[in-house]
Amino acid sequence: MRSHHLFLSLLLCGSLCSTAFGQFKLTIKFSQMDANLGQRLEIRVYDETTGFEVGFAKVPEITDPAFDVQLFVLVGGKSYRVDFYADVNDNGQYDPPPFDDAWRLHVTDVQGDVTMPFARSTDFTDIAWPGPFSLSVLDGMFRGVWKNETFSTTDSIQMNVAVDLENKQANASFTSKGLFGNPQTETLTFSGPVTQDGDTANVVADAPWSGDLMFANGHLSGAVTLQSAGLTSNLEGTFGVAQAVVRYRITLLDGTDFATGYAVVLKDNVIVPNRVPGPFVRLSPQEGAAVDPQSTLLSWTSSHDADGDPVTYDVSLTFDGTDTTFSLSDTSMTVDFLSFGLLDGSYTANWSVTATDGQHTIQASNGAGSFTFDIATAVSQETPAQIPEEFALSQNFPNPFNPTTTIEFALPQQAHVTLKVFDLLGREIATLVDARLRPGFHRTVLSGEGLSSGIYLYRIHAQPVTDGVPPFSTTRKFVLLK
């Protein structure tokens, strides 16, 4: 878990008062998007230094293979990460490739407007999408600076946003000095409804101003008029969790251009709470499949944590009145159902997978599943020679390894077995097995995904179910080379 705080004085001096300060536009020119026609596209832009989201954009439906998306998010001298995905499976949320198409681009050392051509490719990236965007993330006070480019003047500005999703109402205010050419402090207030999904609002200006602003799909647009001053300000901008940018063009009531400028505001004391691990899906077995009970492979895609926290998985198996849970850091495991001492017959197993970062837990996007197996067929192939004479833990193979290795162990009698992996400091890295197993030779596969190169320990502890038989424990080493 990690929390970040932005303090205004640091940001204004470190970012907005840079000699390269300026507000610039990012244009992404999409092409060859034929394979994604009819799909929703979402884009998020992150400040590479802070990791904060500074802009969001959504294309509700891709209707042309070539199109542009513009975001007013860039500040001079900074670098950005641009993540985006197409909702291929049309479930309204991000799923890692191959279920959705996802890409990542980078913008470095901004010195002006940036145009990024993007021709669709199949070089997909799991971007660990943080979840649906809601206007509620804008709740709070934003402060920053504005600049009138026509008259080369600048001053402070603050924006206060309150979004009440329960009552579907939004209120916003802008307070500045000289922003619209008036040397006095001006305050504009707006209020209006929020849509049911919570990502769009239309707010109307209060007197003496008139006009309205639309917050939709990460974009702000609209115009407000002050009749007493004889001017209209046309506004356009982009907002994100930690930053909002608004560009303005002031015209006189007869349509004559008067001035242009922009405002960049950053949210006070931005706190990004620990985020839920990213979505993932179960892969195998397929729903209702008949499997080999001696070697049933359970697998799923990775869940990536946007905060960089390690993710572990809990696999729950239910069959014939038995409930068993395995905890591991890998994205697959092999189960030997013969080790559970089941009688001859056909069985149905229900299984599910959850991912956790230690604080938040999510289930696989495609929920729980089931499969079948036949014990009679498997047991008929077993011979007495398959029962070992003594407990043993074999050296993993291959060793060293990358990316996977196999660990075998032998049980001469039924026992409750734990098989765990530790680093050289004794910290537990993963639990590969935690179950009651029948006599026989067993194996499990360890994936090095998420582990650094180095030497690790793996330790088995087998507690026989027969009273009076001492437990068996031993430890071996393996080497991961990447």
Place of tokens 């930053």: 243
Beta-strand ranges (E) seen in 424-453 are: 428-437, 440-447
Q: Sketch the domain layout of the chain as residue ranges.
A: 1-273, 282-480
- Over residues 392-404, the mean pLDDT reads 91
Q: Name 459's bridge partners.
A: 420, 475
Q: What is the pLDDT of residues 202-253, one digit of tens each?
A: 999 999 999 999 988 888 899 999 888 888 999 999 988 888 888 989 999 8
Token pair for residue 55?
């802009």
- Whether this prediction's pTM lies above 0.85 is answered by no
Right CATH number for 282-480 from 3.40.50.1820, 2.60.120.10, 3.30.420.40, 2.60.40.2550?
Answer: 2.60.40.2550
Q: Which residues contact 170 (CB under 8 A, 6 or more apart)?
A: 135, 161, 162, 163, 164, 190, 191, 192, 193, 194, 201, 203, 215
Q: What is the pLDDT of residues 18-42, one digit of tens each?
A: 333 458 899 999 999 999 999 999 9
| Residue 16 pLDDT exceeds 50 | no
Mean pLDDT of the chain: 84
Q: Identify the CA nearest to 402 among candidates 352, 452, 337, 460.
A: 452
Q: What is the pLDDT of residues 102-116, one digit of tens each?
A: 999 999 989 999 999
When computed from its CA atoms, the radius of gyration of the chain, rounded to whole angstroms, is 29
- Over residues 321-348, the mean pLDDT reads 84
**Most confident stretch, 175-179, 375-379, 397-401, 465-469:** 397-401
Residue 409's alpha-carbon distances to 386, 388, 460, 465, in angstroms, are 12, 10, 9, 17
Pairing of strands 23-31, 114-119: parallel
Right CATH number for 1-273 from 1.10.3720.10, 3.30.590.10, 2.40.160.20, 2.40.128.20?
Answer: 2.40.128.20
Q: What is the pLDDT of residues 122-143, one digit of tens each?
A: 999 988 787 777 788 788 889 8
User: Torsion angle of alpha carbons 35, 39, 41, 42, nearest 10°?
Assistant: -140
How far apart (Å, rounded) are the C-alpha atoms in residues 248 and 261? 5
Amino acid sitting at position 361? T
- Cβ of 468: how many Cβ atoms within 10 Å? 5
pLDDT for 320 = 85
Q: Name 156's bridge partners.
A: 145
pLDDT for 21 = 42
How far apart (Å, rounded) are the C-alpha atoms in residues 213 and 455? 59
How far apart (Å, rounded) are the C-alpha atoms in residues 73 and 53? 10
Lowest mean pLDDT among 73-82, 161-170, 226-235, 371-380: 371-380
73 class by beta-carbon count within 10 Å (0-12 exposed, 13-18 middle, 19+ buried)? buried
147 class by beta-carbon count within 10 Å (0-12 exposed, 13-18 middle, 19+ buried)? buried
Q: Angle at Cα 40 formed by Cα 38 and Cα 42, nearest 5°?
A: 150
